[in-house]
Amino acid sequence: MATLNPRHEEGLFYLLAAIGGLVSALGVGAALYMEHSGHVVTGMNNQIVWGLPHVVAIFLIVAASGVLNVASMGSVFGRKLYKPRAPLSGLLALAMISGGLAVIMLDLGRADRIMVAATHFNPTSVFGWNVILYPVFYGVVAVYLWTMMERRMYPWMKVAGFATFIWRIILTTGTGSIFAFLVARQAYGTALLAPMFIIMSFCWGLAVFLVVQSTMYAWNGLTLPPLVLQRMKNLLATFVAAVLYFTIVLHLVNAYFARNIAFEHFILFDSEFAGAFWLGQILIGTLLPLALLLNPATAAKSLWVNVAALLVLVGAYYQLYVFIIGGQAFPLDIFPGYDVKSSFMDGAVDHYSASLPEIILALGGLGIAFTMTTIGVRILHFLPQDDLAELEAAASATD
Amino acid sequence: MNAPDRNPRRAFIAAAGAGVAGLGFTAIAPGLHLMAVASEANAAARPAGTAASPAVRWGLLIDATKCAPGCTKCIDACHTENGVNEKLPDARQASQWIRKIELVDRRNGKKTELPMMCQHCAKPPCVDVCPTGASMKRADGIVLVDRHTCIGCRYCMMACPYKARSLVHVPLTEQNPEVPRGQGCVESCTLCVHRVDKGQIPACVESCPEGAMIFGDLNDPSSAIAKRIASVPTTQVRSDLRLNQAVRYQGI
């Protein structure tokens, strides 16, 4: 693979950083516009209260936790193949959670009161827990990165890695619990969502890692060792299948409950979300990636593994869109057994379409994550340095 | 010798006594009137600076059989009282503190109308989920939003089983000074807490021409609302959630 001319390479870096910075700045600008005008300029309303910004923000937060799985595989479970990848996984985690949190905070009705959220704490609120979970996540990941990148801190790496592993499990439990603790809406309110979000985080985080890793290898004119590719694509296929398993169980149980049959019929067959579910989440995000990852003809090629990872990420978007927007679009069943109507969309299916400021704000979150990653990998050594002989020895020992 | 006592001082005292009695009567009369109004709510005004009493639990009983089809007087009164008057191009983004719901029983086609608002739950999910504690329940059971600490995250709107809350989607002007509202904050029925604290009843109750709504202290067995609840079947909406709402319905 050809290496880029150093001058061209530097120019390309600045171009990418500038694009990322511009998208981030536009996102902040969109948030200021929403702050000034009110949420009237968004597609959100009093029924669909969380929209596209929340879909993207929750994706980033969930994937941020999951991408650390790569580090945990090395530090906590002692897998040699993953150890050189731990610093990059830490950087991606910090970058993505920063983008996600920025979008969540900038979308607030009163984003100027973010200090109120920091100084007023309600212990019964899952959001309140998250206000603690996220800053601590930054702290433990930063310390973990320090132990990995500073030779004197090496003895503490295992402890920091373990603490990070525990914390990200708690963090994603908290994210899933945002929805698990909602008694009001048919789409949510099940304890299954906490473990389901954890497995979703493993899947999406690994997909992000694979894409970023491949890009970095290509940038440096390197090829990912086939052994590494094979291990990671197998792991991704396992996680994709696990998310599918949770999805099937969730819908099967819901479909059995008489009170939820109407909602299941709505979300799976009779709404604008049914297409997003079957085509977006199941076909594009699950079955196609599984086929690419399990078919020996495609699974051995880096290109197809990366295509599969990208498809998983597209599927993640559809999955969260159906889950978050579709779950709110279906009317609350306030009077079971009655047909209801009112001036406030009671009994009516709502429709949501994101407005331009919301789209720009959501892209801004991706821009922040992209910019932080681009600058991070440029100024520090995050490119995995594989000791191939050691890897092969370890592989033959475990196979 | 037995002439009537004409001591002018005594006569003055007698006259003054009668005057004081008369004055007292007229002075008490407004008080009696006040008590008569308050007796609907079974409590007097809450003096400024004193905390709401946990001995009281304010509630509403709504008789859906009396709620007239098409009548929106309670909604108009509520929104006038609370200054909810902004017009938005998309009605789904407008605040609705109270709304009329038309119900049709799927089994027999029976039609019912009723007003729906914050149900002032004893265990309000909106209070549980609020990250800053802005969503709160007062000692007397009224569920409110502190407009100074609400950050507009809308988690309470996701959590409310009654869709009782609205986000203020636009900048506001011409507010009622007694009812502060604000862009980017979530709001809902306050049970007209500013009126209740003055010993008055909520605007919706006062405006109902059919007398379909009773306001009062659920904890006081002698209150009209408590007596009615003790004598006729009433319902808490989505009682399966065990939230123990202060708003109850009759006739559904």
Per-position pLDDT tens, chain A of length 399:
455 677 888 899 999 999 999 999 999 999 999 999 999 999 999 999 999 999 999 999 999 999 999 988 888 887 888 888 999 999 999 999 999 999 999 999 999 999 999 899 999 999 999 999 999 999 999 999 999 888 898 899 899 999 999 999 999 999 999 999 999 999 999 999 999 999 999 999 999 999 999 999 998 888 888 888 999 999 999 999 999 999 999 999 999 999 999 999 999 999 999 999 999 999 999 999 999 999 999 999 999 999 999 999 999 999 999 999 999 999 999 999 999 999 999 999 999 999 999 999 999 999 999 999 999 999 887 888 776 666 666 666 554
3-state secondary structure of B108: coil
From CA A206, how far away is CA A191, in angstroms rounded? Answer: 24
Tell me how crowded residue B196 is: count the other CB atoms within 10 A of its CB.
Answer: 22
Rounded Cα–Cα distance for residues A372 and A350 (Å): 37
Read off the DSSP letter of residue B249.
E
* Confidence (pLDDT) at A6: 77
Rounded CA separation A167/A162 (Å): 9
The predicted pLDDT at position A393 comes to 67
> A267-283: buried (b, 16+ CB within 10 Å) or exposed (e) per residue?
bbeebebbebbeebbbe
Instruction: Considering only the beta carbons, identify the residue of A124, A341, A350 that sits closest to B92.
Output: A350
CA distance A350 to A328: 8
d(CA A108, CA B204): 31
Kindly list the structural domains of chain A, giving each domain's residue range(s) and its CATH number in brackets, ordered by start.
16-380 (1.20.1630.10)
**A34, A39, A132, A147 from A108: Cα distances, Å:** 9, 9, 18, 35
| Cβ-nearest to A110 among B91, B131, B151 | B151
Percent of chain B whose pLDDT exceeds 70: 83
Q: Residue B126 carries which side chain, given as an amino acid letter? A: C
End-to-end CA distance of chain B: 81
By the 8 A CB rule, do B171 and B27 touch?
Answer: no
Contact B99, B165 (CB under 8 A): no
CB contact under 8 A, B133 and A121: yes
Query: What fold is seen in the domain B58-250?
Result: Alpha-Beta Plaits (3.30.70)
Residue A378 makes CB contacts below 8 A (sequence gap 6+) with A13, A17
Residue A45: which of B92, B106, B131 has the nearest Cβ? Answer: B92
pLDDT of residue B34: 36
Instruction: For residues B82 and B85, give the distance between their C-alpha atoms in angstroms, rounded to a whole number.
Output: 9
Q: Report d(CA A110, CA A132) in Å as an integer.
A: 20
Chain A residues inside the 8 Å CB shell of B170: 37-38, 40
Total CB pairs under 8 A between chain A and B: 174
Neighboring chain A residues of B102 at a CB cutoff of 8 Å? 340-342
- Residue in this structure with the two tokens 């030779």, named with its chain if needed: A151
Q: What is the tally of helices (H) and strands (E) in chain B?
A: 7, 9
Q: What pLDDT does A5 receive?
A: 78
Closest in B90, B134, B184 to A45, CB measured: B90
- Cα separation, A41 vs B93, in Å, equals 10
Low pLDDT (below 50) residues in chain B: 1-6, 8, 12, 17, 19-40, 42
Task: Give the closest residue to A116 by CA, choosing from A18, A126, A127.
Answer: A127
Q: How far apart are CA A220 and CA A4, in angstroms?
A: 7
Around Cβ B5, how many Cβ atoms within 10 Å? 7
8 Å CB contact between B112 and B103:
yes
Give the whole-angstrom CA distance, residue A178 versus residue A188.
9
Query: CB A122 to CB B133 under 8 A?
Result: yes
Q: Which of B94, B103, B191 is nearest to B143 (CA)?
A: B191
ipTM above 0.85, yes or no: yes
User: How do beta strands B213-217 and B58-63 pair?
Assistant: antiparallel
Alpha helices (H) along chain B: 8-41, 73-81, 125-129, 155-159, 193-196, 203-207, 224-231
The label of the residue with tokens 């936790």 reads A65
- Alpha-carbon gap, residue A358 to A361, rounded angstroms: 5
CB A147 within 8 A of CB A156: yes
DSSP B176: -
3-state secondary structure A311-332: HHHHHHHHHHHHHHHHHHHCCC
Tell me which H or E stretch contains A373.
Answer: helix A356-379
Per DSSP (E only), the strands in A192-349 are 338-342
Contact of B165 with B144, CB cutoff 8 Å: no
Amino acid identity, residue B238? R
Positive or negative CA dihedral for A138, A191, B128, A267?
positive
**Pairwise CB contact (< 8 Å): A181 & B129:** yes
* Test mutation, B95, B101, B121, chain A, max A CBs within 10 A: B101
